[in-house]
Amino acid sequence: MTGADQALGRGLAVALGRAGADVGLLAGDLDEIAGAAADVEDVGARATRLAAVFETRPEVEAVFVEAARALGPVDIVVHTAVDPVAVESAPLADLDEDRWEAIWEGTMRSSLLCCQAAFTQMAGRGGRIIFSTPTVSMSGAAGLVAYTAAVEGQRLLAKSAARQWGSQGITVNCVAPAPAAGGVDETGGRAHLPLNPPPLGGPGDPETDLGPVVVFLASDAGHFVTGATISLDGGVWMAP
Amino acid sequence: MSGFLEGRSAIVTGAGQGVGRGIALALAGAGANVVIAARRAETGEPVAEEIRDRDGSALCVQTDVTVRADVEAAVAATVERFGGLEIMVHNAFGGRAGRSHRLEDVDDGMWRGFSRTAVWGSFYCAQLAFPHLRAAGRRGRLVLVTSPAGIEGSANIPIYAPVKAAQRAMTKSLAREWAEHGITVNCIAPVAETPALLGAFEANPDLRERVTARVPLGRIGDAERDIGSVVVFLAGDGSSYVTGQTVVCDGGSFTGL
């Protein structure tokens, strides 16, 4: 579980732990995931904390090897990590190259490295890769051009990976939480997000509302679902 | 030449060949002044010449869309020569698009090849055109050329899909962000006869039949008549209330939107 230092990753980790998975918790700062580890252990699963910054392939591959050494073969990778810089709202006219690099390239680099390291662990054995891709990439959002580009990039990386790695028994899917559940500030309506209220309420609790769907995708029951995006926003975004 | 884009100016990146050339010819045919922004002048100049031979108005500016200063210069040349910029079309793609690869083998250099032209190029084109599109008011248009692969994913060229998808999300977000200025932002996702595709057909004679068989309309799009014509619509007043959309121009293959 990447992004285990955020509410979304922490909640999904607990849901997976409750379903019987041992969970490797990844974040930049180990101190920030002590609480998540305790939560996972409280529901009877094993947890291990791993520091990861997703900059280079050898580093990410090594973290995944470390996870396998601690907990056994890696069967499920859930990538929820998001750089807080990425979800800060700013008009395109004000974005400089460094910011574009950090948001677009940073998000895509971590996603690609995560996929590749997952593939190394799962090749020939099968597995599950699940991305969190907030619905803003499908709706678009003013002030979030670079971030929505990156999220849609993740969503299509997942589809390509699903097409290419399906023969290896690897499924790759996305769950799309409400923007607020994914850490996005909705900027008081200036983002011009869809106005529909969530029929089921929102934004949803990561562990109890979103967790069961991630558990399903990660389980044997989800074996025939790949390349899909499941909206988990309480019913705001209903396309297609 | 007269047409409903008379008096408006357009930049088309990657206009030296293929889809970009078709778009440039179609826009010029509708009366727009067209800047052929091509990475190589030896491909761009003949297209500008072709437009002038048809009594259209065109200028070739050598432009590498991965270089910010190049895009800046193309915009400046357009404004200087034609007095404004109403229509920015980013079509260029140089990322070895046809080469199949495995996702597990992708390294940073290969990724950047795809990312720089499609995504950074879109960033530069959008940001540098913006002041002029805003000044054009309700006539300001940004059109990004994406691909059906950016919607469906790709088993053969997996990282082509995320960079093309990123352009779709940029389109949706910019449509919302620039709506207050009356600027519309849309994508097209074409399948057309391009030099790359024709080259692939030559190398693999069965391929044309297999590709064509997937197209309900039974033929592969012509860059000017089938694709350029859609951009002409998106560039004109008739599409003023269409924004944030992807128009898939592929003869009916992909119907998932």
Of A137, A140, A160, the CB nearest to B153: A160
Quote ipTM for the complex. 0.94
Cβ separation A142–B176 shorter than 8 A: yes
pLDDT exceeds 70 at position A205? yes
Terminal Cα distance for chain A, rounded: 28
Percentage with pLDDT > 90 across chain A:
88
Q: Where are the beta strands (DSSP E) in chain A?
A: 23-27, 47-51, 76-79, 127-132, 170-177, 229-232
Give how far the C-alpha of residue A81 lies from the chain's centroid of Cα atoms, to the nearest Å. Answer: 6
Q: Whole-angstrom Cα distance, residue B91 to residue B146?
A: 8
Q: What dihedral angle (degrees, nearest 10) is formed by the CA atoms of B220, B225, B230, B233?
A: -170
Q: How far is CA B211 from CA A168, B91, B190, B216, in A?
A: 27, 22, 14, 11
Cβ separation B162–A156 shorter than 8 A: yes
Cβ-based contacts of B256 with chain A (< 8 Å): 240
Residue B20, token pair as written in the block: 């970009």
Of B103, B166, B177, the CB nearest to A152: B166
Residues A129 and A172 sit within 8 Å (Cβ to Cβ): yes
Specify the pTM.
0.95
Q: So what's the pLDDT on residue B136?
A: 97
Cβ separation A160–B115 shorter than 8 A: no
Q: What is the pLDDT of residues A87-109, one digit of tens each?
A: 999 999 999 999 999 999 999 99
User: What count of other Cβ atoms lies within 10 Å of the Cβ of residue B214?
Assistant: 13
Provide the mean pLDDT of chain A. Answer: 94
> Is residue B1 very low, low, confident or very high in pLDDT (cuts 50, 70, 90)?
very low
- What structural domains does chain B harbor? 9-249 (3.40.50.720)
Fold of the domain built from segment(s) A7-232: Rossmann fold (3.40.50)
Cβ-based contacts of B148 with chain A (< 8 Å): none
Q: Does B208 touch chain A (CB under 8 A)?
A: no
Residues A173 and A162 sit within 8 Å (Cβ to Cβ): yes
Of A100, A115, A156, the CB nearest to B153: A156
Residues B181-207, mean pLDDT to the nearest whole number: 90
Interface test with chain B among A77, A152, A163, A186, by most B beta carbons within 10 Å: A152
Identify any residues that bridge with B38 across adjacent strands, giving them in sequence order.
B62
Q: Whole-angstrom Cα distance, residue B171 to residue B174?
A: 5
Q: What is the pLDDT of residues B76-133, one digit of tens each?
A: 999 999 999 999 999 999 756 567 899 999 999 999 999 999 999 999 999 999 999 9
